[in-house]
């Protein structure tokens, strides 16, 4: 005869279920590792299918599956989106995470290329478009990587005055033929800017206003406050 009360028996069943679902300590690979058994409890991103293309062999390997899971983690996606909003390559802020989770495997060219393909698919499904290829990082494991921008954002080519770097001009053509001639110096090309966040924080102007002004008169000239540019 079972002497336990119904409430006690229910507590025992709940404890057994928790122990069954909780992974042992030796399975936790790193602070950022999320075991499959508990992903639904910690808000892991819902993974879409990966179109592996020419990387089907690498993707079917355990390391390929791990790479896809890591790049779909919420914290990793947040880093890639923030980097993109700042005009940086998406993979730049996740290099240490990939090295920690995959080790030397991520140094292989095929896995680095597959990481780029995975990143493209992840960000495109979240409203980003490819902006530039082979942006230099000179880092490990990525020497260069792609940059993305939000689909709703337009970009402009940014030039600075050689005699006063705080005097900048933006146009919609890399040739810069619509820019006014500066009183001193000459215009030097800096980069293509498609990030509203980078425009606001780095140069103190509204990118949407600049785009509208370029459409109206062909260029947008701006003087960056001294506090923002050393």
pLDDT at 34 > cutoff 50: no
pLDDT at 38 > cutoff 80: no
Question: Over the stretch 131-141, which tens digit does the pLDDT of each residue have?
Answer: 889 999 989 99
Q: What percent of the chain is modeled with pLDDT above 90?
A: 63
Model pLDDT, residue 153: 76
Model confidence at 3, pLDDT cuts 50, 70, 90, reads low
Q: For the chain, what is the mean pLDDT?
A: 82
Please enumerate, as own/partner, the contacts of 46-49 that have beta carbons within 8 Å and a separation of 24 or more.
47/72, 48/121, 48/122, 48/125
pLDDT at 179 > cutoff 80: yes
Q: Identify the bridge partners of residue 149 per DSSP, sorted by sequence position.
A: 129
Model pLDDT, residue 142: 96
Q: Phi-psi category of 134—alpha, beta or left, where left has phi over 0 and alpha has psi -120 to 50? A: left
H/E segment holding residue 111:
helix 109-124
Model pLDDT, residue 28: 36
What's the predicted TM-score (pTM) here? 0.61
φ/ψ of residue 27, rounded to 5:
-90, -15
Q: Where are the domains of the chain?
A: 1-152, 156-223
pLDDT at 53 > cutoff 90: yes
Q: What percent of the chain is modeled with pLDDT above 70?
A: 79
Model pLDDT, residue 57: 96
Model confidence at 108, pLDDT cuts 50, 70, 90, reads very high
pLDDT at 191 > cutoff 90: no
């Amino acid at each position: 005869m079972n002497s336990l009360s119904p409430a006690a028996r229910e507590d025992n069943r709940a404890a057994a279920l928790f122990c069954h679902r909780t992974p042992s300590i030796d399975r936790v690979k790193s602070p950022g590792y999320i075991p499959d058994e508990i992903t639904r409890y910690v808000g892991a991103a819902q993974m879409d299918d990966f179109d592996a293309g020419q990387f089907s062999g690498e993707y079917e390997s355990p390391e390929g599956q791990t790479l896809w899971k890591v790049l779909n983690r919420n914290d990793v996606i947040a880093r890639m989106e923030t980097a993109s909003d700042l005009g940086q390559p998406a993979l730049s802020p996740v290099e240490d995470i990939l090295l920690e989770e995959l080790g030397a495997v991520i140094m292989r060219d095929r896995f680095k290329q597959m990481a780029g393909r995975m990143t493209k698919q992840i960000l495109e499904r979240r409203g980003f478009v490819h902006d530039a290829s082979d942006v230099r990082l000179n880092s490990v494991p990525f020497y260069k990587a792609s940059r993305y921008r939000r689909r709703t954002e337009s970009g402009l080519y940014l030039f600075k005055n050689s005699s006063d770097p705080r005097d900048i001009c933006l146009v919609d053509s890399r040739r810069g033929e619509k820019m006014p001639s500066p009183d001193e110096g000459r215009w030097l090309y800096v980069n293509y800017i498609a990030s509203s966040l980078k425009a606001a924080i780095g140069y103190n102007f509204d990118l949407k206003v600049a785009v509208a002004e370029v459409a109206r008169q062909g260029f947008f000239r701006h003087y960056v406050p001294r506090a923002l540019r050393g």
